[in-house]
Structure 1
Amino acid sequence: MTENIPNFYYFCKKYYITMKGMTVNEIIDETKAGKNIPDFLIYFFIILLLLIDFMPYFKTTEIINIQFLYLSFLNLLAGIYLYLNNALIPPTFFSIWKKSQFLKIYIIFLVLCAVSFFVAKNTSLVITKMTQLLVVFCLFLNLSILLKDKLQLFFKIVFIVGIFAFLQSWQELCHFIIIPKRASIIDLLTNMKGNTGNINILAASLSIKVPFLLLGIVHYNGLRKYFLLFALFSATAVIFLTGARTALLDLFAIYTVYIIYLLREHKAVRTTFTKILLLIIPTLISVLFANSIFEKSKDSGRYVSLQNRIGEINTNDASANVRLLYWENALQLAQKNPVLGIGLGNYRIESIPYEKYISDDTTVSLHTHNDFLEITSETGILNGLLYFALLAVLFFINLKNTIKSSSEQTKNIAVLALMLVLVYGIDSFFNFPMYRPTMSIFFVLILALTILNNSKTSEILNATRLNTKTIAIALIALSLFTSYTAYHICKASHLQYMILSDDINNNTKGVLTGDEVLKQMPDYPNVFSTSESFYEYAGIYFIRENNFEKALQCFSKAEKINPYVGRIDFYKQVISSKKGNLDSAYIYAQKAFSTRPRNYDLYKSASIYATLKKDTVQLLKNHALFSTYRNIPEEWVKTAKSLQNAGAGYNRLVEFLDSGLRKMPKDSTLLSQKNAFLITDYLIKGQRYESESKSDLALKTYQSALKIDPDNIYVLQNIGFYYLKNGQYDKAILNLTKALQKPGLNDGKTEYYLGMSYQLVKDKANACKYYRIALDKKFIDRNNPAIQNCG
C-alpha cells in the first residue's frame, strides 16, 4: 500500500483537485496527523473525568465547586497538550461545527446566558454560573478533538464507564450487604449520596451510566460480560434504594428504548429475547434486594417499598405539588422579564419573594427543579426555548441515525447517545443537572458523540482550514479564565465551610472573627449556597462581638444582596433589644415575620415583642397570618399563652382555643391547654370564694377542676389547703400526699403544710419528716418553731 501512495500524490498534484483551497495531499496529511493521538491518552482522559465522583470536598460546602475547578484544570492541561502537539488538531475540524445545527443553538444559548449579565441584580452569580457553563463548553471542545477519528474505541470507553458505575454503586451498596448490629437502616438509606451532593443526584449519576452497561453486556462475552452484569445489578440496586422517582422514570425510558432497538436490529428472535432477558434479570434481582432492605427499615414514608414509591409518581404527592409551585414561580419571573430574564444564576435569590407563602422557615428552593424553566426565568423565553430545542435536536439526530444508518458502529453510538439524551432530558425536566459535573460530563459526551458520529468525509474535504495553534491558544486562554474564577468560587465555598463550622447562628463566638470574614469576603459568589449573603454572616459575627456599628454596616450591604429571608431584620431586632430599644426591636421583629410569614422562629420572635407591648390585636393578626399557611397545634398554644401574658381574659382565651379545636377537633395539645386555662380559672375562683368565706362554693369549684384533671397537683394542693383550714386534717393529708406523688411541686410549701397536718393529728414522726424536707428545700429555716420542736 505505501509504495502506491506517491503515485496517488502525483495524480492529485497533477490534476490539483482542490476543495475550498485544500488539496487532497493536505487532506491525507491531516488524516495522518489526526490519527496520531495515542489511544491510552483517550482512556486516561475519560478516567480522569469519571474520577470526579470520588473526589473529596477539601473543606468546601459543595462538591460541585471542587469538581468544576478540577474539570477546568483538566481543560487547561488538554489545551497545553494540544498546543505542544498542535498537529493533532485537524485544521478542518471546526468547519464540521459550522454544519452542525445543534452546535449553533448551543453557542447562541451560551451567548444569551452571558448577555444576561447586563440585566442581573446580582452579577456575581452570573459570573459563577457562566464559569461553570464555560468549563463544560471547553470540555466539549477538548473531548471532541480527542475523540476525532477515535470512535473505534467506543466499546472500550463503554467498558471504562461500566467499571466506574460499579465502583460508584458498590461504594454505597457495601453498607447494605453486611449491616452492623446497631446501625439504623433508615440512616443508611437517607445518608446515601456518595460524592454527588445529595441522594437524588446520586441516582441520576448512576442512571446515566446504565446505558453503557446495557450496550457493554450485549457487546462483550466472557468475564467482561459477567462483570458488567454484576455492575448493572449494583447500579440499579442503589438507584432503587435511593427511592428517586426521576431515576425510576429514567430506567423505564432506557430499557424501553434499548429493548425496542434490539428487537428491531436482531432478526433472530430467540437470541434477541435471550439478550433482553439477560439485561432484565439483574434488575429484577436488584428490585428484590431493595425491597428486602425497605422491609427491614420499617419506614412509613419514602422507603416503604419500591412499588409504593412508583405509585407516588403523580401530581397529588406533596413534593410534586411544591415542585409545580416552583415552576409557576419561574413562569411568573419569565413573564415579568421575557427578553433577557433576571440574570443567570439569579433565580436562587429573586425567586424567594415568590416562595414566602409556600416555603416553611428558612427553606428556599435554590433551583426550579426544571432546568428549562430555570433558564427561561434567568435568561429569557427565547433562550429557554433554545435550550429545549438543543436537547430535542440531539434526540432526533440520534433517533434518525439509530433507525436509518447502515453502519453498526454508527447505530451503537447513536442509540447510546439517544438513551443519554433521554436520561439527561428527563432529569432536566424534574431536577437541575446543568450545574452538576457528574451529569455535565455526559452532556458533553452526548454533544461530542453526536457531532463526530455525523461528520462525513465530504464535509472534511469541503472544510475551511484554521490555524491549529490558534485553536489551542483559545482553549488555553478560556481554561485559564475559568480556572481563575473557579478557584475563587472554591475559596468562597471554603469560607462558607468555615462559617458553618463555627455555627455562628447559635454560638456566641467561633474560630473566625467579623474582621476575618470581611478580609476574606468573596467577590463571586457573594452569597452562600443557601442564598444568604456573606455580609449577613459577617454582621452576625460582629453582633457576637458586641460591635453593633460594624454589624449594621454589614447588614446594610447584605440587604442590597438578599433582603428576602427576614434574617437581616431579625438580627437588627437582636441589636435593638441588646441596646434596650424595645420599640425598634418590636418593629424589626414584625418586619422580619411579614417577610417570611411561614417562619416559625420569626413568628415566635414577633409574638414575644407583641406580648411585651401588651398588643393582643397584633398577636391575633400574626396568628391569623401564620395559621393561614401553617395550622399547627403548637402555634395555637403559643399564641394562647402569649395572649394570657398580654392580659387577655379567660373567656377570650377559651374562645380562641375553641376556634382552634373546631379546625383540629382531635388534637390533644389544644384540648390540654384549654383544660389548663379552665383549671386555672377554677383555682382563681376557688381562692376568691375562700377569701370571701364562701367555703362551700370554694370546695365545689375545686372539685369541678378535679373532674377535668384528677391528677392536677395544683388542684390537689388547693383542696388539701382547704381541708387544713377547715380542720379536716385526714382529708388534707390525703390530698397533699397525692399532690406530692406527682412531679412539679419543688418549693417545699406542700411538704410544710403536710407536716402541719400530721402535727395536728399528733403524728410527730411524719410531721418532722415533712418539716425537714421543707427545710431542705429552703421553704423554712432552722429558726422556725416547727423544725425546732423536732429536735
Structure 2
Amino acid sequence: MQGEKQKVKSSQVLTSKPSTITNNIILVIVSLYFLVDCVPKVAIIDQMGIHWLLIALLNLIAGLFILKSNEFLNGIKSLFKNKVTWLYLAFVTISGISIFFALNKSEGLVIYARLLTICITVFIFGILFYDRKNLLKDLVVVVMLIVLAQSFNGVMQFFAGLGKIDLSTLVNSLQSTTGNKNIFAAALVIKIPLIIYCILKRQGIFRYLGLLTLFLAVLPVFFINARSAYLGLISSFLIVGGLTIYLQLKSKAMAQFKLNSLLILGIYVLAFFISQNTLNKAKLFNQTTVYGTFGDRLGTVVDTNNEATNIRLKYWKGAFNLISKRPLTGVGYGNWKLYSPLYTGPLINDNLFSKHPHNDFIEIAGESGILNSIIFLSIFICAFFSALSIIRSKRDPEIKLIAIIILGSLAGYFIDAFFNFPSERPNIQVLFAFILGVILTNYFASTGGHSESHRPISKLIFIVPTILFGIVTVYVHTLAFQSMKVQWVVDNDLNSIDNLPGAIPNLKYAQVNSVLPDYPQIAENSEIIAFKKAKYLRVEKRYQEAIHLLDSVQYQSPYLPYSDDLRCNIYLETKQLDSAFKYGKKAASIKPRNFYYYRMASYLARVNNDIDGVHKLFKTYHTYRNDQQSWSYYALTMFYSKANRAEVKKVVDSGLKYFPQDTIMLSYRPLLPK
C-alpha cells in the first residue's frame, strides 16, 4: 500500500508539472501582447504600424503553441458554446463580405487584415485563459506594472512642463507611446478595473503597488481632459463599485471590503482634487485654452454650442446621410475614409481632415451595413446581461468578481467606441480582445461539464485556418509597416519645402518610386500613395507623367481635393489656365473652407476674366468663414480685375465694415470712385 501511495503521488507531480509550465508560457505570451503598447517610438508615420505587425506575429506564435498541445481542446470547443462567439463571427464575416461592394477593395483588405488580426487574438485569449482564472491574478500584476510605468511618466511629464509650456500643448503631449492623448486616456480607463482587481486579490507589495498605480493612472486621465475618457471613468467606477458592493453584501464579508472600498474611493477623490487644483492654477496663465477642469469639460458634452460637441454631431448627421444611401451593404469595410470628405469638407477649415465619424457603431453601419452595426452592438448587450446573470447566480464568488471587472473594462471600451474610433488603434484592440476572449470561453460561457473528447480533428479545424489567416495578416502588416516607414521619410522631405518657392526636396522621384510600395494604395494621412510620387514628378518638371499618374489612380480616392489641387498647380505652371481654373474650382468645391483653395481658384477666375466666378467663389467661402484674409483677397482680386470700379468699391466698403483696420482694403479706397 505504501508503494501504491508513492506511485499516486509521483503521478500527481508528473501531471501537474506540464500544467505549471503551460501556465507560465501562457502568462509570457499574453504579457507580450500587453507589452506591445510599450514598444518605443520608431521613425514611422504612425506607431500603430509596428504595433499591428507585432500583434500578428504574436498570433502566429500563440497559434503554434496551441497547436502543439492537447491541453487546449476543451477551450477550443467551448468557444462555440457561447452566443457572443457567433455574433462576433457574424460581424467579422459580414465586414469581409462588404469589401465586395467597396470603391477601393485594396484598401478594404488592408483594414480588414487588422480586424482579422484582432479576431484571431480574441480566440487565442479565450483558449489560453479557458479554465485558468488564477492566471488573471498574475496577469493583472503585469498590467499593473505597465500602467505604473506609463502613468508615472505621464504625470512627471505634466508637472515638468507645467508653467513652462502652454497648457493646450502640454495636455496634447501626454501620449505615452500611442501618439495621441485620447488613445492614452482610453487605454488607462479600460485598464483601471484590472488594477482594482489587483488591489482586491493580491497581497503585500503588489497590493500597495496597485494602490499607487491606481492613483497615478487616474491622475493623467483627469489631466488629459478627454471627455469620453471622463465618461468611461465614471461608468467603470459606478459599475465596478456598485456591483462589488452588491456582491459583498450578498456574501456578508464586509470587514476587508470596507477597507478596500475606502482605499480605492480615497484614491479617486485624492486624484480628483489634486488634478482640479492643478488645472485651475494652470488656467490662470492660459486664459485661451480649451482645456479646463473636470466640470468644465464634462459640461460641454451636452452643450451643442460647444465647438467640439457641435462638430461631432455634424459628423454624425453627415454620416447618417451617407448611410441612408447604402443601408444594407455599406460603402465597404475600410472605405469610410474615402467618402468622409463628402460631408466633412464643409465642416472643417483648411486641410484638416477627419477619416472617422467619431463613433465606431456609426462607422460600422456606414462601411458594412446597419445590420452589422446592430450585431456589433448586440455583442455588448449580450455581454452585459451575461455578466449580470453570473453576478446573480450561485457560482463561485471569484467568477462573479471577474465578471464585474470585465464588465467595468467593457464599459470603458463601449464609451470610447461611442465617441471615438478605438477599432483603428492596436493597443485598445488588444484590450478589447482580452475582454472578449475572457467572455467567450471562461466566465460568461455555459456552466456545463467539460468534454473529455480529444479528437485531433476538432483542434485542427480551428487552429490551421487561424495560422493560415495569421500568415496572411503578417504579410499585409509587413507591407503596411514598410510603407509607413517610407511615408515618414517622404512626408518629412516634402514638408521641408512647403511654402518655399523654388525649393528642391532631397529625394528624387526615382528614389521614392523604388522604395515606396504601391500597396497599400492609401497613406495614413489619407493621401493616395501615387499622389506623393506625383509631387516629385512636378518638382522635376515631368508634368505629363505627373498628370498621367494622377489620372490613373483617381479611382482609388476620388473625393479628396489633393490631386485636383496638384493638377491645378501643374496646369498653372504650364500656362494652361483653363485647365488650371477647372481643377482649382473643383478643389475649392470639395473643401469650401480652405483658404488656399479659395485663393487659388479666385486668382484663376480673375486671370480667366470670370468676374461672376470671383463673386461665386467668395460667396461660397463666406458662407462658412467670415475672416479678414478672405475679404482682403476678395478685394485684391476685384481691384486687379476688369470689373467695374463701382463694383470694386462696393466689395471694399463691405469688407471694411467687418475689418475696418485692414491695410490692403484701406489702400484701395483712395483709388476708387467716391
- Per the normalisation by structure 2, the TM-score is 0.91
Shift of 1:334: 2.2
Shift of 1:367: 1.1
1:560-599 paired onto structure 2 within 5 Å: 560-599=555-594
Shift of 1:3: 5.7
Which one of 176, 192, 212 corresponds to residue 230 of structure 1? 212
Deviation readout 1:525-567 (Å, 9 max, x if unpaired): 2011121101111111000001112111111123221232222
Which residue number in structure 1 is paired with residue 442 of structure 2? 452
Shift of 1:36: 5.5
Q: 1:603 to 1:256 in 2, by over 3 A?
A: same
Shift of 1:394: 1.3
Which one of 424, 427, 434 corresponds to residue 423 of structure 2? 434
Q: 1:652 to 1:213 in 2, by over 3 A?
A: same
Which residue number in structure 1 is paired with residue 475 of structure 2? 484
Q: 1:5 to 1:244 in 2, by over 3 A?
A: farther
Q: Which amino acid aligns with 1:151?
A: K
Secondary structure class of the residue paired with 2:392 = helix
Deviation readout 1:669-689 (Å, 9 max, x if unpaired): 45x55543334459xx9xxxx
**CA distance in 2 between partners of 1:162 and 1:192 (Å):** 19
Which residue number in structure 1 is paired with residue 626 of structure 2? 631
Unaligned runs of 5+ in 2: none
Q: 1:617 to 1:485 in 2, by over 3 A?
A: same
Q: Are the equivalent residues in 2 in contact too, given 1:370–1:428 (CA < 8 A)?
A: yes
Secondary structure class of the residue paired with 2:208 = helix
Which residue number in structure 2 is paired with residue 762 of structure 1? none
Which one of 508, 520, 525 corresponds to residue 525 of structure 1? 520
Which residue number in structure 1 is paired with residue 451 of structure 2? 461
Q: Which amino acid aligns with 1:541?
A: Y
Which has the higher mean CA deviation after the structures are superposed, 192-201 or 148-157? 148-157
Q: Which amino acid aligns with 1:42?
A: I
Provide the identity percentage: 25
**CA distance in 2 between partners of 1:579 and 1:308 (Å):** 54
Which residue number in structure 2 is paired with residue 332 of structure 1? 321
Which residue number in structure 2 is paired with residue 289 of structure 1? 274
2:538 counterpart of 1:546: no
Secondary structure class of the residue paired with 1:598 = coil
Q: Which amino acid aligns with 2:424?
A: Y
Secondary structure class of the residue paired with 2:267 = helix
2:354 counterpart of 1:365: yes
Q: 1:501 to 1:5 in 2, by over 3 A?
A: same
Shift of 1:351: 2.0
Q: Are the equivalent residues in 1 in contact too, given 2:75–2:128 (CA < 8 A)?
A: no
Which residue number in structure 1 is paired with residue 24 of structure 2? 40
Secondary structure class of the residue paired with 2:583 = helix
Shift of 1:184: 4.5
Secondary structure class of the residue paired with 2:332 = coil
**CA distance in 1 between partners of 2:552 and 2:333 (Å):** 21
Q: 1:213 to 1:457 in 2, by over 3 A?
A: closer
Which one of 502, 526, 529 corresponds to residue 493 of structure 2? 502
Q: Are the equivalent residues in 1 in contact too, given 2:359–2:421 (CA < 8 A)?
A: yes
Which one of 364, 382, 405 corresponds to residue 416 of structure 1? 405
Secondary structure class of the residue paired with 2:448 = helix
Deviation readout 1:256-314 (Å, 9 max, x if unpaired): 11221232122466764443331122222222332344223533333232321122121
Which has the higher mean CA deviation after the structures are superposed, 136-145 or 33-42? 33-42
Q: 1:596 to 1:185 in 2, by over 3 A?
A: closer
Q: 1:601 to 1:178 in 2, by over 3 A?
A: closer
2:292 counterpart of 1:304: yes
**CA distance in 2 between partners of 1:457 and 1:618 (Å):** 72
Q: 1:219 to 1:322 in 2, by over 3 A?
A: same
1:34-113 paired onto structure 2 within 5 Å: 35=19, 37-83=21-67, 85-90=68-73, 92-113=74-95
Which one of 261, 266, 280 corresponds to residue 265 of structure 2? 280
Q: Are the equivalent residues in 2 in contact too, given 1:194–1:202 (CA < 8 A)?
A: yes
Which residue number in structure 2 is paired with residue 379 of structure 1? 368
Q: Are the equivalent residues in 2 in contact too, given 1:138–1:479 (CA < 8 A)?
A: yes
Deviation readout 1:593-617 (Å, 9 max, x if unpaired): 2232221111011122223234332
Unaligned runs of 5+ in 1: 8-27, 686-791
Choose between structure 1 and 2 for higher RCO, CA contacts under 8 A separated by at least 6 residues.
Answer: 2
Which residue number in structure 1 is paired with residue 101 of structure 2? 119
1:631-710 paired onto structure 2 within 5 Å: 631-648=626-643, 651-660=646-655, 664=658, 667-670=659-662, 675-681=666-672
Shift of 1:462: 7.9
Q: 1:4 to 1:373 in 2, by over 3 A?
A: farther
Q: Which amino acid aligns with 1:623?
A: F
**CA distance in 2 between partners of 1:179 and 1:102 (Å):** 46
Q: Are the equivalent residues in 2 in contact too, given 1:339–1:382 (CA < 8 A)?
A: yes
Q: Are the equivalent residues in 1 in contact too, given 2:337–2:356 (CA < 8 A)?
A: yes
Shift of 1:97: 2.1
**CA distance in 2 between partners of 1:183 and 1:675 (Å):** 38
Which residue number in structure 2 is paired with residue 174 of structure 1? 156
Secondary structure class of the residue paired with 1:627 = helix
Q: Are the equivalent residues in 1 in contact too, given 2:244–2:404 (CA < 8 A)?
A: no
2:529 counterpart of 1:534: yes
Deviation readout 1:397-443 (Å, 9 max, x if unpaired): 11221232431111111001111111111111111111211111121
Q: Are the equivalent residues in 2 in contact too, given 1:59–1:494 (CA < 8 A)?
A: yes
Which residue number in structure 1 is paired with residue 338 of structure 2? 349
Shift of 1:390: 1.2
Q: 1:256 to 1:180 in 2, by over 3 A?
A: closer
Shift of 1:341: 1.2
Q: Are the equivalent residues in 1 in contact too, given 2:547–2:567 (CA < 8 A)?
A: yes
Q: 1:470 to 1:588 in 2, by over 3 A?
A: closer
Q: Are the equivalent residues in 1 in contact too, given 2:79–2:126 (CA < 8 A)?
A: no
Deviation readout 1:30-84 (Å, 9 max, x if unpaired): x97994653322321232112122213432211111101001111111222333x
Which residue number in structure 2 is paired with residue 314 of structure 1? 302
1:129-208 paired onto structure 2 within 5 Å: 129-179=111-161, 182-208=164-190
Q: 1:393 to 1:620 in 2, by over 3 A?
A: same
Which residue number in structure 1 is paired with residue 600 of structure 2? 605
Q: Are the equivalent residues in 2 in contact too, given 1:34–1:88 (CA < 8 A)?
A: no
Q: Are the equivalent residues in 1 in contact too, given 2:185–2:224 (CA < 8 A)?
A: yes
Q: Which amino acid aligns with 1:282?
A: I
**CA distance in 2 between partners of 1:178 and 1:535 (Å):** 43
Which has the higher mean CA deviation after the structures are superposed, 187-196 or 518-527? 518-527
**CA distance in 1 between partners of 2:631 and 2:447 (Å):** 75
Which residue number in structure 1 is paired with residue 233 of structure 2? 251
Q: Are the equivalent residues in 2 in contact too, given 1:424–1:443 (CA < 8 A)?
A: yes
Secondary structure class of the residue paired with 2:526 = coil
Deviation readout 1:744-773 (Å, 9 max, x if unpaired): xxxxxxxxxxxxxxxxxxxxxxxxxxxxxx
**CA distance in 2 between partners of 1:458 and 1:595 (Å):** 59
**CA distance in 1 between partners of 2:394 and 2:265 (Å):** 27
**CA distance in 2 between partners of 1:75 and 1:363 (Å):** 36
Which entry has the higher C-alpha Rg, 1 or 2?
1
- Per the normalisation by structure 1, the TM-score is 0.78
